[in-house]
Amino acid sequence: MVQQALPQRDPEGPADPREAARLGKPLGAGHSENAVHAVALLLPEGSATGIRRPLLRTPAAQRPLARRLTRATTDDGLVVHVVHYRHRGWNGSAAHPVQDAAWAADEVVRRYGDVPVCLIGTGMGARAALRAAGHPAVTAVLALAPWLPDPEAVLDPEPVRQLAGRQVLLVHGTNDERTDPDLSYRLAERAKKVNRNVCRFEVHSDGHGLRQHRPEVQALVVDFVRGALFGHHYARPVADALAAPPPLGLRMPLASGFGASLRH
């Protein structure tokens, strides 16, 4: 039976009782709850505004990464779920995807018990992952091409204190025309002041979808997840990025061919 989040009243209109967040089907760990040692929650893209349900292709876009993670962690006991949002937009102060991410982490605890959780978000979902990092079950956060507000255009800067005590990785293409790479650097710089376990990789010449270097990006995700959730040694570039002070550890280039020996 699919467990769903209780609907919350939308400030832009009455709540629809049929609207609820949910977890996609579990992938990995033999689909056995007894074999689950950690969970990765994938938070998809979205838009700035919109209270309709997300398009079906939005969560579907996360499946290649989900399959890559499960193949690489067969012996570790990782389960991957894609989070299905109630609404397709961030929607200002409502921050609906953050609420859905927090519910999803609660649901992980209900289903699997006290296991570590990694939030992996893309675009708007990356912002939600960073915001929801304060959930007690979350031990790691991975933000791919995060959509972030310009701190000079808002009254309050994006919070970073909830990232303390977590392993945090941001990844951004230098040619991203949809989400500003400079904003993710500036957030990482602020986060590094409250948490030394923050690093950021730049994918040179790649755009928002990180398609040009997808194999390297997926290998980086796998390396980070296995290190953050299961204690495996990070690849040398990741370990160096975490140890290096700004700006070096926050502008680490993702080398062509990264993780080639890990792909299968």
22-258 belongs to which CATH class? alpha beta
Residue 211 has pLDDT above 60, yes or no: yes
Q: Report residue 200 CA to chain centroid gap.
A: 13
Q: Which of 12, 40, 8 is nearest to 21 (CA)?
A: 8
Q: Tens digit of pLDDT for each residue in 58-115? A: 888 999 999 999 999 999 999 999 999 999 999 999 999 999 999 999 999 999 999 9
Neighbours of 227 (CB within 10 A): 19
Report whether the peptide linkage leading into residue 246 is cis, meaning its omega lies within 30 degrees of zero: no
Q: In which residue are the tokens 């832009």 written? A: 12
For 148, which DSSP code? -
Q: Tens digit of pLDDT for each residue in 156-201? A: 899 999 999 999 999 999 999 999 999 999 999 999 999 999 999 9
pLDDT at 8: 42
pLDDT at 107: 98
Residue 10 has pLDDT above 50, yes or no: no
Strands 38-43 and 198-203: unpaired
The CA–CA distances, whole Å, from 26 to 40, 41, 70, 250 equal 10, 10, 10, 33
Q: What is the mean pLDDT of residues 229-253?
A: 97
Q: In which residue are the tokens 């997808």 written? A: 214
What DSSP assignment string belongs to 233-262?
PPPHHHHHHHHSPTTGGGSEE--TTTTGGG
Neighbours of 130 (CB within 10 A): 31
Residue 1 has pLDDT above 50, yes or no: no
pTM: 0.91
Contacts of 12-17 with CB under 8 Å at 24 or more apart are 12/51, 12/91, 12/94, 13/51
Q: Tens digit of pLDDT for each residue in 26-64? A: 999 765 556 899 999 999 999 999 999 998 888 889 999
